[in-house]
Amino acid sequence: MSAYFARMLEQYGCNVDGIWRAVVDAGKQVGLTLPPLTEEVVVEDKTFAIVKKLGEGGFSYVHLAREIPDLASEDYALKRILIHEEEHQGAIQNEIDVMRALDHPNILPLLYAEIEPHRSPPPGARVFVRKRASLVFPAYLDGTMFDRATTRPEADAFTSTQLMSIAAQLCDALECMHTLSPPLGPIAHRDVKLDNVLLESSPETEGGLKAVLMDFGSAKPAKVTVTDRSQALLIQEKAAGECTASYRAPELWDTPSECVIDERVDVWSLGCLLFAATAAGKTPFEYATDAAGGSLALAVMSGKYAWSEAARKAYPREVMAVAECCLEKDWRARPRARDVREKAREALATTRRKFLGGGGEGAGDDDEPAVLVTEEV
């Protein structure tokens, strides 16, 4: 038995979890069934041990997990979703299909996914046993844009370079979705927000932060043709349940009876995100309603907002102009993701010239050659 334990410890590792799994495995050899020290989840024939909970929302939980038996391996994010009805399962399957169709460095990759088969309750039990879906992603432990925006002083969470670099990265990710080939694409994300952008320190990225778009549960075909009032109301109703209100485009608040809505709903949300990154997490129309009161819906439909004094001092005009061009109320005149990306790159180039001019990000324009600007994050 000692030789057997030695082999198990070599396989599982000399830590508490590894030792206990070795004990559990040895117990099986003599007919004993011992519980695992941590919950284990099998996804696509790979077993993951849950380390700790990272967050929760609605019917889902996200855990930090590591693959068994190699607990010294890389960290994973394990999202577990309780399926409450058949329609919900269809939405989860759609999210899985969308993520498997996307391949871009600024889009969170789906590594493994599985929807459990239906489980019957124990005999005599009067309970409904819900199915669960498990999705496994790489773990990004630096948190989200929302975490950073709300834990640092207003207008100090991101420099101009970082903000415009993130804008360009997210435009790249959105263009990947908006130009996706059939059978799924093109697709609109429909819930772009600070909470859905992961950050990772990256010396190779201008500004030092890599941005990764996640959560595709609200993704829809990019173009939607509306032909009558009942269809328009249905779109508004679905948007109310799937799109975060403070980031929702005007055409999803008040959908015309005859129109074609397209992927530029995401560009509006991107504008809200860039503003919120400078305003401690508050979108422009949350900021407006906090200042003057009234309805969020009316604030959005008015299209009126104002930058905070702190943001006006911290960011040059060309940086704020990138967010402003996204917040064009008429979606037919709103730029597409590729157009915003070019504006963000132009703002980055201007920031570089000012930086090289010797006055930091607020320095005047001059025509020094461009270099990669990285910053302490």
Kindly list the structural domains of the chain, giving each domain's residue range(s) and its CATH number in brackets, ordered by start.
2-20+32-138 (3.30.200.20), 145-362 (1.10.510.10)
Dist CA 374 CA 369 (whole Å): 16
The whole model's pTM is what? 0.84
Dist CA 128 CA 121 (whole Å): 7
- Residue 362 is predicted with a pLDDT of 46
Q: Compute the Cα dihedral for 221, 225, 231, 233 and give only its sign.
A: positive
Cβ–Cβ under 8 Å, residues 263 and 337: yes
Dist CA 282 CA 296 (whole Å): 12
- Residue 56 is predicted with a pLDDT of 85
- Residue 353 is predicted with a pLDDT of 86
- Compute φ and ψ for 66, nearest 5 degrees: -135, 150
Q: Which two three-digit tokens encode residue 249?
A: 């485009």
- Residue 150 is predicted with a pLDDT of 97
Dist CA 177 CA 214 (whole Å): 12
Q: How many CB atoms lie within 10 A of CB 224?
A: 17
Dist CA 74 CA 131 (whole Å): 28
What residues pair up with 50 in beta bridges, in sequence order? 65
Q: Compute the Cα dihedral for 21, 23, 26, 28 and give only its sign.
A: negative
Q: Give the helix ranges, DSSP H, for 208-280.
A: 229-242, 250-253, 264-278
User: Any known ligand binding at 313?
Assistant: no
- Residue 73 is predicted with a pLDDT of 73
What does the pLDDT profile of the chain (377 residues) look like in tens digits? 445 555 555 555 554 455 555 655 665 566 665 445 568 999 999 999 999 999 887 788 999 999 987 766 789 999 999 988 777 888 899 999 999 999 999 999 999 999 987 666 666 655 555 689 999 999 999 999 999 999 999 999 999 999 999 999 999 999 999 999 989 989 999 999 999 999 999 999 999 999 999 999 999 999 999 999 999 999 999 999 999 999 999 999 999 999 999 999 999 999 999 999 999 999 999 977 876 678 999 999 999 999 999 999 999 999 999 999 999 999 999 999 999 999 999 999 998 888 776 555 543 333 333 344 455 56
**Residues written for the chain:** 377
What residues pair up with 40 in beta bridges, in sequence order? 49
- Residue 361 is predicted with a pLDDT of 59
What residues pair up with 133 in beta bridges, in sequence order? 81, 115
Catalytic center residues: 191
- Residue 190 is predicted with a pLDDT of 97
